[in-house]
Amino acid sequence: AFDIRLKLTKEVLTIQKQDVVCVSGSNHSTNVHLLRNAGDEVTITVQYLREAPSFLKLPLGSPGPSSDHSSGASSPLFDSGLHLNGNSSNTAPSSPSSPIANEPKYEKRWLDTLSVPLSMARISRYKAGTDKLRSNAFEVLALDGVSTGIIQFYTSQESADWLRAVSTNIGDLTLQNMKMANKCCSPCDQVVHMGWVNERIQGIDSSQPYKYKFLALKGSSFYIFSTPPVSTLDWVRAEKIYNLCEVLFKVHKLWLADDCWLQANFYLGLHQDYDLEDQRPYCFSVMVGQGKSHFFNVELGSELAVWEKSFQRAIFMEVQRTGSKTYMCSWQGEALCFTVDFALGFTCFDSKTKNVLWRFKFSQLKGSSDDGKTRVKLLFQNLDTKQIEMKELEFQDLTAILHCIHSFIAAKVASVDPMFIDSQSIARRYMYSN
């Protein structure tokens, strides 16, 4: 038998196999006690188990060990190589069309140590293809897909401690990568935050309802990648790129499963959001133009809090850098331009003559409504008459305009009262503690 030992350094998680001597009918603690008090010489009798070879050997002609992990490793201590009759060989010879009983068979080769680099690595606590959390266990996957396998712990506290430690190291290494990337970027194109999430695949009935995605907030844009960007050229190869002024971040659900260690270490204390179909905690969405949205889930409550803060910071920085956004619109057949300005507020002018039709400050906006398609009604208070004036406009992409208005107003409030945004934050109120 063997036991597993974990060793965590700043950049690497190491898994090591250690042999354990077992005495029939006794547990590990008893075995250790017997060995410590056995004297200078110990005689060990080993019983041969005939069923063991059938488990360790592979069928003749098998191209490699079976696995359900994307990394191709069926065990954290299995190097996915094969050896013949005890002789190491990483390349399996071609097998004959019909097996011969007397020919040797391929066997798995087990390793004593496996090291997984933590830079750009990700953590998974879910059973494959489900929304169910593993009990006192998690998996670490490196950037190249190599997996530790499922690491099971004896107690919930031990699992939580290791999960927190590994997550912290991954976060520190990600911060280092951001700093290196920012050295090559202009001050207006800095990386604010990036990291792994799970994206819910919408509109399809799949056994894999979530897929790993790598998100980044950089300069004026929100990026969605299938794999992390490791070079400058990778930034233009993102799956999706959105303007930060036109997205809306929303915390959807802070919900806990029936894991006592989760409740002890990551308790958030909020009600469930029952309008969501999945059963995963720590969910958020990013709503974009044309009424579309992306729905994400993260592994820890602390990650959700960081994403909420990072989106707010990135959006506010982009609003202040941009200063104003102008959109084409129309009303009653006339082509107009609508401008949201960080300093001036709202302005509407004729697209041909450039004559200003009306202008209001942010503080004069008292309400709004829309038809969910193209038309929006803005209610402003006239400072002279104290009367409410309604301005109605039509836009091609109404959602983007509404998100932009929200971004500018939130940034304006944050510039006046920075503490207001913190007081409105949902996830940051409930950071996990020791």
Read off the amino acid at residue 106: Y
Model pLDDT, residue 73: 41
The answer to whether 310 and 192 are in contact (CB under 8 A) is: yes
Q: Select 119-256+279-316's CATH number: 2.30.29.30, 3.90.1150.10, 2.102.10.10, 3.40.50.970.
A: 2.30.29.30
Count the neighbouring beta carbons within 10 Å of the beta carbon of residue 39: 6
Task: Report the sign of the C-alpha dihedral through residues 307, 273, 407, 247, in that order.
Answer: positive
Model pLDDT, residue 261: 34
Locus of tokens 């006192």 = 136
Q: What is d(CA 58, CA 79) in angstroms, rounded to the nearest whole number?
A: 15
From the number of C-beta atoms within 10 Å of its C-beta (0-12, 13-18, 19+), residue 45 rates as exposed
Domain with CATH 2.30.29.30 in the chain: 119-256+279-316, 322-432
What is the pLDDT tens value at each position of the chain, 434 positions in all?
Answer: 556 778 888 889 888 766 555 565 667 777 777 777 777 777 777 665 555 555 555 444 444 444 344 434 444 554 444 444 444 444 444 444 445 555 555 455 566 788 999 999 999 998 877 778 888 899 999 998 889 989 999 888 899 899 999 999 999 999 999 999 999 889 999 999 999 999 988 766 666 688 999 999 999 999 999 999 988 899 999 999 999 999 999 987 664 443 333 433 333 333 333 344 456 788 899 999 998 999 999 988 889 999 999 999 999 999 999 999 999 999 988 999 999 999 999 999 999 999 999 999 999 999 999 999 999 999 999 999 999 999 999 999 999 999 999 999 999 998 888 776 666 665 555 443 33
- Domain 322-432: give its CATH architecture: Roll (2.30)
